[in-house]
Structure 1
Amino acid sequence: MVTWYHVFCNLSICKLIVTMSIDSCNEFVCAIRNLHDSRVGAAISIENLRSSSVDRDAIQTDQTDRSRRGGNVRMEGQHEVHGDFKAVGGSLCLDFTNTASARDTGSPNERLHTYEELLTWGEVVGALPKEGIEALRREAAQRPAEAEEALRQALHLRETLFRIFLRVIEGAAPEPADLTYLNEAVAATYAHLRLEPGAPYYIWKWDESPGRLDRILWPVVHSAAELLTGGELERVRICDGEHCGWLFIDRSKNHSRRWCDMRDCGNVAKVRRYRRKHKMEASA
């Protein structure tokens, strides 16, 4: 039902657009459309918007730049979170580092509080086949102490990878301790790889290794080794969003990607830019 309030709001917006320059008007419309598309809507004030194909039986070494989500939707920082996880990094190891954000605030947003959440992440991004995830879930229920240790290892690995890739972005060498740790993880991980006939080429597959709760981390380590030794390493970027810190591979044609996701950090930046520009025009 249309009320006088709706009429007033629509007339106010029309009056605002009429008084804008063409560039400001276009930017305003684009910002509103993006806000609608990302389903931020009226439930979140713009004032408060601030940051804080893989064969499942083979090894995942790369992903297309898209989200594969599960669970309920909520907002956390700048990111629209579905089941707490998004796959926008372009590589499994970068998606793994992106299970935390806002590391520069002293109070990071942590998404891996339990081993079960680690398995849920692996399921969402396709780190292991579904049956492999379910097997780990059953094992973890029987051995909770070992599951806690596997989670501790996962967090250590994640932060080590984040520091290494951050140094890559900065054009600096990693800390010797971090590189030593990763090399040890690579050596342990590759002991579980097997070559099997495929069509038309041989493929890498993991051995079964029943009972190894750290098995969820093997594809992550493999992905990191592949990225660090491949041609896309120079395209690894960190999101420009304030207090974001997510990593991604820039596969844009002109290598100009700045945001982890245009619907999140990119949209927030666009709205901020519009507000600053309109404020300057209004005060001129």
Structure 2
Amino acid sequence: MVEGAQDGRRTRVTAQLRELRFDAGSLSLNLIATVGRRPVTPVERMGDIDRLRAWCDGVGLAVHPGEDLAGLLAALHELRACAYDVTVGYLHRQAPREESVRLLNQLAQVHPPAPQLQADAYGLTAAASSPGLSTPALLSLIARDLITLLSDPIRRQRLRECDSQICRMLYLDAEQGRPRKWCSMQRCGNSTKAARHRRHREKAADLPVP
């Protein structure tokens, strides 16, 4: 399957490329990661209701049974665009659009349900405070997550953009250890190294024999 890009280039869209990512390091960054290969050849990973349900399950958010899922999906797409604009703007030292900041602040004004604990035979676990989240509450959780991240001078220094030119996923680096260049060594790290090795080998093959 092939998807076109705005600059005329085309990229092969594989099943792995369409997989949802839950390893960006925060709730809001996981939402941003539902579009792959930004900004040149964007690939939609959450384009329908089934993918919306899979994403909510993956990030541990239960949606209220009565919610309009099509409306929620559209609202998440809008929030995602604003979240990406603000976050990538911070990384590139560029001012985000005013409407992006305004929407994030507006969504964050809704108070989501307070977290609850429940005790069972296995210890303490988090418990849902209601049958599920309403659309405003879910959007608020994501907006607050990003605002908290970007307003924390220590955490926001850990924001990274994958070094792979065909990935560019935004992620939160680990607190300790060496800084990561790629969103995932298994995905982009290995493929980037393999491509670099292949280019070196091809250049060596083109050299004249003495």
TM-score, with structure 2 as normaliser:
0.76
Amino acid at match of 1:108: P
Q: In the alignment, which of 27, 47, 53 is matched to residue 119 of structure 1?
A: 53
Deviation at 1:98, TM superposition (A): 0.4
RMSD: 3.0
For the 8 Å contact 2:116–2:128, the answer to whether it is kept is no
> Using the alignment, how far apart are the partners of 1:117 and 1:108 within structure 2?
17
Q: Which has the higher Rg, Structure 1 or Structure 2?
A: 1
Q: What whole-Å deviation, never above 9, does each CA across 1:37-96 have from its counterpart, x for those lacking one?
A: xxxxxxxxxxxxxx95xxxxxxxxxxxxxxxxxxxxxx945x835x82122211111111
More helix by share: 1
> Using the alignment, how far apart are the partners of 1:90 and 1:197 within structure 2?
23
Q: What whole-Å deviation, never above 9, does each CA across 1:189-219 have from its counterpart, x for those lacking one?
A: xx224366899xxxx9875386724544343
What is the aligned partner in structure 2 of residue 38 from structure 1? Answer: none
Q: What whole-Å deviation, never above 9, does each CA across 1:249-279 have from its counterpart, x for those lacking one?
A: 1226232x12111112222211111011112
> Using the alignment, how far apart are the partners of 1:220 and 1:147 within structure 2?
16
**Identity rate, percent:** 23
> Using the alignment, how far apart are the partners of 2:91 and 2:138 within structure 1?
26
Q: Secondary structure of the equivalent of 2:39?
A: helix
- The answer as to 2:142 corresponding to 1:232 is no
What is the aligned partner in structure 2 of residue 33 from structure 1? Answer: none
> Using the alignment, how far apart are the partners of 1:234 and 1:183 within structure 2?
21
Change (3 A) 1:80 1:227: same
> Using the alignment, how far apart are the partners of 1:259 and 1:179 within structure 2?
28
For the 8 Å contact 2:159–2:173, the answer to whether it is kept is yes
> Using the alignment, how far apart are the partners of 1:116 and 1:243 within structure 2?
26
For the 8 Å contact 1:93–1:224, the answer to whether it is kept is yes
Change (3 A) 1:214 1:250: same
Amino acid at match of 1:266: G
What is the aligned partner in structure 1 of residue 183 from structure 2? Answer: 260
Change (3 A) 1:263 1:80: farther
Query: Unpaired segments of 5 or more residues in structure 2?
Result: 1-9, 120-125
- The answer as to 2:103 corresponding to 1:194 is no
For the 8 Å contact 1:99–1:111, the answer to whether it is kept is yes
Q: How many residues align?
A: 190
- The answer as to 2:69 corresponding to 1:139 is no
Amino acid at match of 1:98: A
Amino acid at match of 2:24: G
Query: Unpaired segments of 5 or more residues in structure 1?
Result: 1-50, 53-74, 141-145
For the 8 Å contact 2:107–2:136, the answer to whether it is kept is no
Question: Mean Cα displacement is larger for which, 171-180 or 159-168?
Answer: 171-180
Amino acid at match of 1:80: Q
Q: Secondary structure of the equivalent of 1:266?
A: helix
Change (3 A) 1:196 1:271: closer
For the 8 Å contact 2:28–2:146, the answer to whether it is kept is yes
- The answer as to 2:95 corresponding to 1:169 is no
Q: In the alignment, which of 81, 84, 93 is matched to residue 19 of structure 2?
A: 84
TM-score, with structure 1 as normaliser:
0.58
What is the aligned partner in structure 2 of residue 95 from structure 1? Answer: 30
Change (3 A) 1:205 1:215: farther
> Using the alignment, how far apart are the partners of 2:56 and 2:133 within structure 1?
17
Deviation at 1:164, TM superposition (A): 0.5
What is the aligned partner in structure 2 of residue 276 from structure 1? Answer: 199
Higher relative contact order (CA 8 A, sep 6+): 1
What is the aligned partner in structure 2 of residue 67 from structure 1? Answer: none
> Using the alignment, how far apart are the partners of 1:226 and 1:158 within structure 2?
16
